[in-house]
Chain A
Amino acid sequence: MASLSATSLSFKAPSTQSTRISQVLRKASTFQSISFGRFQSSKSLRLQISCAAKPETVQKVSDIVKEQLALSADTALTAESKFSALGADSLDTVEIVMALEEKFNISVEEADAQNITTIQEAADLIEDLVQKKPAA
């Protein structure tokens, strides 16, 4: 802080307004970079959590979804595709959850089952339950 004031004092003679503007601009740019960095780190954090499910789990979930909704074998199913977008009504979603319960030998609570809307969420929940099960 002392150095800053010293510099401001030293540059006082020439155009003070320009230095202040440049200081403000510098501050603004640093603020921008900080916020951008934060945005990046939060985004990567989020990506880390969502990538916790193994790809073969996601693949198995996609297979079950395709079989349940009678989709053709070459429909592209991404991890983010919602069940409702694929033509599943709420009963279909419950049936998919039951099929996953049978396939992975887990037991999904009703509260958890309400939040499943995409394939990725289902895979994450399955991974969670599979990990918790041997510990119990």
Chain B
Amino acid sequence: MAAPFTLRKIGVQPNSANLTEARRRVFDFFRAACRSIPTIMDIYNLQDVVAPSQLRFAISAQIRNNAHVTDPKVIDLLLFKGMEELTDIVDHAKQRHHIIGQYVVGEGLVQNTGSKDQGKSDFLKNFYTSNYF
């Protein structure tokens, strides 16, 4: 690395004026997160568990999940929460099983769709997810 990347603690920024600026902030956040990946892998000893490219994919999947949002204020809030999460992870405020559970296995990359849901009806599947279907 030219210089090790450190996450600067910027306070709450003013709302982004339009979608273009919100987009730019999304990419800045994504870059900051990707550049923090070596630190994260070092802190939580994830070297044997996951590759940096997989973590990058997990981060981009989370961002893509909300790709349909068009309101800049909503995007700002999502970025704020994302930044909060990233800061918590880099500050070692979380533990290894949190990272593995949230970003690697389970609802993360490797889908742990066990056998308990197979063969059940769609009604039950919808019932488990929400009240309204």
Chain B residues near A92: list those with CB within 8 A. Answer: 60
Mask, B60-86, CB within 8 Å of A = 1, is: 100110010000000000000000000
Mask, A96-122, CB within 8 Å of B = 1, is: 001101100111001000000000000
Interface membership of B27, Cβ < 8 A: yes
**A102 adjacent to B52 (CB under 8 Å):** yes
Closest to A98 in B: B34
**B1 adjacent to A94 (CB under 8 Å):** no
Closest to A96 in B: B56
- How many chain-A residues does the 8 Å CB contact rule pick out? 17
Query: How near does chain B come to A98, taking the closest CB pair, in angstroms?
Result: 4
Interface membership of A40, Cβ < 8 A: no
Chain B residues near A102: list those with CB within 8 A. Answer: 34, 37, 52-53
Report how far A106 CA is from B35 CA in the complex, Å.
Answer: 11
**B27 adjacent to A94 (CB under 8 Å):** yes
- With contacts A91-B60, A91-B63, A95-B56 taken as known, whether A107 is within 8 angstroms of B30 at the C-beta atoms is no
Query: How near does chain A come to B10, taking the closest CB pair, in angstroms?
Result: 15
Chain B residues near A106: list those with CB within 8 A. Answer: 2
**B60 adjacent to A95 (CB under 8 Å):** yes
Mask, B33-60, CB within 8 Å of A = 1, is: 0110100000000000000110011001
Chain B residues near A94: list those with CB within 8 A. Answer: 27, 30-31
Chain B positions within 8 Å of A, measured between CB atoms, are 1-3, 23, 26-28, 30-31, 34-35, 37, 52-53, 56-57, 60, 63-64, 67
Chain A positions within 8 Å of B, measured between CB atoms, are 67-68, 90-92, 94-95, 98-99, 101-102, 105-107, 110, 133, 136
